[in-house]
Amino acid sequence: MHKDRKLLIAGNWKMNKTVAEGLDLVQGLRRELAGVKEVDIVVCPPYTALSEVSKIIMDSNLRLGAQNMSEQAPGAYTGEIAAAMLKEFSVRYVILGHSERRQFQKESSELIAKKALAAHAASLKPIVCIGETLEEREKGVTEQILEQQLRGSLAGLSKEQMAETVVAYEPVWAIGTGKTATTQQAQDAHAFIRKVLVSLFDDAVAKRVRIQYGGSVKPANARELMSQPDVDGALVGGASLEVRSFTDIIKNSI
């Protein structure tokens, strides 16, 4: 058992996998990961595969997550998906404010906070993503950026809601680049994030929040990253698209 917090390892499939491909992947994961109890395992397929994936993982130790949702209740919002619609497929988690959405869809921390509140109102657990760019790290403003993003994206959450929220630290320069933060860089950022959570909420809440690391997590670096005292899991992109690599990340983390 890892620290006081159970590890949470989530696969973010991003805009990948048809329904048939997704089913293949999840059938393999279900088989390979049966019996793993030490880690909470989540798969986050695209919206189009949620329904079918949800049927396959029912009665398994895999849980379902979505990659985004609207901050609005159902209504006239063309192209959007409401929390209530995710609930229909037994979705438990929702990734919010991924850096790709902050970059390409121009999502602000303010919007992400609204989404986090809407997720909680529907009893979905948000995975709120934050992280600095390479330019920000080189300028030495990483901590300021993380604090700003935390303050903005978690605004309005109660202590109870925060305790049920996951934070994913994903340095933008490490996403899909093959460059992983060193274990020390990851631990330092996670410890800083926990310190900010103490000041925004309180010590007890900060101790409960799981902080995932994301950015080029692979079977080869998972064990060392997950062994850090403030690293409570991983948000995995590329390596979550194959049964072997995602399974090995989880098995190497136990």
Comparing CB distances to ligand PGA, the nearer of 30 and 65 is: 65
How far is the CA of 183 from the CAs of 124, 192, 213, 217, in angstroms?
Answer: 30, 14, 10, 11
Q: Which of 98, 107, 120, 132 is catalytic?
A: 98
Cβ-based nearer residue to ligand PGA, 124 or 239: 239
Tell me if residue 52 is catalytic.
no
Q: How far is the CB of 137 from ligand PGA (least distance, A)?
A: 16
Query: Where along the sequence are the contacts to ligand PGA (CB under 6 A)?
Result: 12, 170, 175-176, 214-217, 235-239
Active site (annotated) includes residue 224? no
Find the shortest distance in angstroms from Cβ 215 to ligand PGA: 5
Helix (H, G, I), strand (E, B) or coil at 191: helix
What is the radius of gyration, based on Cα positions, of the chain? 17
Nearest distance in Å: CB 40, ligand PGA: 16
Catalytic residue among 71, 107, 164, 170: 170
Task: Answer yes or no: are the C-beta atoms of 34 and 7 closer than 8 Å.
Answer: no
Cβ distance to ligand PGA smaller for residue 47 or 195: 47
Neighbours of 182 (CB within 10 A): 12
| Least distance between ligand PGA and beta carbon 109 (Å) | 18
16 exposed, middle or buried (CB, 10 Å; 0-12, 13-18, 19+)?
A: middle
Q: CA-to-CA distance for 128 and 117, rounded, in angstroms?
A: 11
Residue nearest to ligand PGA (CB): 237
Closest CB to ligand PGA among 180 and 201?
180
57 with 64: CB under 8 angstroms?
yes
- Tell me the sheet residues that pair with 214: 235
Q: Please list the active-site residues.
A: 98, 170
